[in-house]
């Protein structure tokens, strides 16, 4: 009978696109410029020529790492390991992200110590322009410049982070900035207060409504006041306790429903509302104010049955103990 033998070899592709596998008896094979699929097919063809009776398969096991340098307005500058499939934004993520005052539209990429490109990463983030987010090569140097207050930055107050500077691109609108900095944050997107030297006949501060964001072109030195949306805490016997955005006009009962409703053990008739000023109100029809905490207590039946269960357990233990005493005395 014929026996089948299986051999597994881990081979590597070396700089310049050369493939070697001394353990498999395979010499140098050039696969430069080929995709992973095409390179695998060439390797299989080469193996078949050397070992005609072999049946072989080839799959990609891992991707080698390359080392690139990143400096400037990033949170963790230095040498970083990435793969040849990594783009510029992957490198910035690996470096902990960029600082708020990073000028992304003037990011510098230096390759082979000579070739330098100025890349506009805001075009990639806003429009998906992949030409501004290239793949990396080993030895690349990336420099993310810091913005200058008088030429590149606006001041942002609020968002729960105090005061931060944000770099803007020439011609960038308030809508694009809000999309970039308010994503994933509890920001009030309904309006923004913009402070600017508008002119002698206009107030220094103006409230910009959301439908005007796209028409406002930002200028270096602008000051933006972005509020956070107030939240309501819903706790106790509800199915999804947590924090919910404040919506004027809603009652405590409305928020209980938004929190998934009352559990089987909850008492919807005894809802309590704790105000920020220290007062406590009761009733599901109470209109909620910003900063309130809504508490749904356990119902009387739930508490009573829980206590009754403990009493029953205690009585059961007592009966067992009395039976033990009776049996002991009978034995005497």
Domain that holds residue 204: 153-226
The Cα–Cα gap between 32 and 284 comes to 71
Report whether 152 contacts 167 (CB < 8 A).
yes
Task: State the pLDDT at residue 90.
Answer: 94
Q: Can you give the length of the chain in residues?
A: 332
The Cα–Cα gap between 292 and 256 comes to 13
Tell me the percentage of the chain whose pLDDT exceeds 70: 80
Within a domain: residue 322? no
Question: Within 10 Å of residue 2's Cβ, how many Cβ atoms?
Answer: 3
Last residue of a domain, one of 185, 211, 226: 226
Are 235 and 269 in the same domain? yes
Within a domain: residue 104? yes
The Cα–Cα gap between 304 and 262 comes to 18
Within a domain: residue 289? yes
Are 166 and 219 in the same domain? yes
Mean pLDDT, to the nearest integer, of 92-110? 93
Mean pLDDT, to the nearest integer, of 146-152? 90
Q: Is the pLDDT reported for residue 260 higher than 50?
A: yes
Tell me the percentage of the chain whose pLDDT exceeds 90: 34
Least confident of 147-156, 163-172, 201-210: 201-210
Are 180 and 196 in the same domain? yes
The Cα–Cα gap between 199 and 155 comes to 20
Q: Is the pLDDT reported for residue 272 higher than 90?
A: yes
Question: Within 10 Å of residue 264's Cβ, how many Cβ atoms?
Answer: 8
Task: State the pLDDT at residue 1.
Answer: 45
The Cα–Cα gap between 44 and 55 comes to 9
Task: State the pLDDT at residue 160.
Answer: 61
Mean pLDDT, to the nearest integer, of 125-138? 90
Last residue of a domain, one of 125, 144, 163: 144
Last residue of a domain, one of 62, 94, 110: 62
Mean pLDDT, to the nearest integer, of 188-213? 79
Are 102 and 55 in the same domain? no
Within a domain: residue 140? yes
Within a domain: residue 312? no
Q: Is the pLDDT reported for residue 54 higher than 60?
A: yes
Taking CA atoms, 16 is separated from 22, 31, 311, in Å, by 18, 9, 80
CATH at 82: 3.10.560.10
Pairing type for strands 191-195 and 18-21 reads unpaired
24 vs 78, residue with greater confidence: 78
The Cα–Cα gap between 95 and 77 comes to 6
Are 72 and 57 in the same domain? no
The Cα–Cα gap between 185 and 244 comes to 13
Within a domain: residue 324? no
Three-state SS string across 152-206, please? CEEEEEECCCCEEEEECCCCCEHHHHHHHHCCCCCECCCEEEEECCCCCCCCCEE
Are 42 and 76 in the same domain? no
Which residues are paired to 69 by β-bridges? 79, 141
Are 220 and 243 in the same domain? no
Within a domain: residue 319? no
Least confident of 46-50, 230-234, 269-273: 46-50
What's the domain count of the chain? 4
Are 215 and 163 in the same domain? yes
**Sheet architecture: strand order including 12-14:** 12-14, 18-21, 26-30
The Cα–Cα gap between 172 and 174 comes to 7
Task: State the pLDDT at residue 314.
Answer: 63
Are 244 and 203 in the same domain? no
């Amino acid at each position: 009978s014929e026996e089948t033998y299986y051999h597994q070899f881990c081979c590597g592709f070396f700089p310049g696109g050369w493939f070697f596998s001394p353990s498999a008896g395979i010499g140098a094979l050039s696969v430069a410029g080929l995709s992973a699929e095409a390179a695998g097919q060439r390797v299989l063809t080469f193996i078949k020529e050397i070992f005609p009776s072999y049946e072989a398969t080839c799959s990609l096991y891992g991707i080698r790492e390359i080392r690139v340098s990143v400096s400037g307005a990033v949170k963790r500058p230095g040498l970083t390991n990435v793969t040849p499939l990594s783009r510029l934004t992957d490198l910035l993520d690996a470096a902990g992200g960029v600082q708020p005052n990073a000028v992304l539209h003037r990011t510098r990429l230096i390759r082979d110590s000579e070739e330098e490109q100025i890349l506009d990463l805001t075009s990639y983030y806003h429009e998906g322009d992949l030409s501004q987010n290239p793949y990396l090569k080993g030895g690349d140097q990336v420099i993310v410049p810091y913005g200058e207050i008088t030429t590149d930055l606006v001041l942002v107050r609020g968002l729960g982070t105090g005061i931060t500077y944000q770099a803007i691109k020439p011609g960038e609108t308030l809508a694009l900035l809000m999309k970039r900095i308010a994503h994933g944050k509890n920001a009030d997107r309904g309006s923004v207060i913009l402070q600017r030297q508008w002119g002698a006949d206009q107030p220094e501060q103006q409230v910009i409504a959301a439908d005007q964001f796209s028409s406002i072109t930002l200028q270096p030195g602008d000051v933006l006041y972005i509020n956070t949306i107030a939240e309501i805490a819903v706790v106790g016997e509800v199915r999804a306790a947590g924090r919910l955005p404040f919506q004027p006009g809603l009652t405590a009962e409305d928020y209980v429903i938004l929190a998934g409703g009352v559990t089987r053990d909850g008492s919807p008739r005894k809802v309590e509302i704790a105000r920020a000023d220290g007062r406590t109100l009761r009733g599901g029809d109470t209109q909620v104010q910003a900063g309130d905490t809504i508490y749904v207590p356990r119902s009387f039946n739930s508490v009573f049955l829980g206590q009754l269960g403990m009493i029953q357990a205690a009585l059961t233990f007592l009966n067992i103990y009395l039976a033990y005493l009776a049996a002991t005395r009978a034995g005497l």
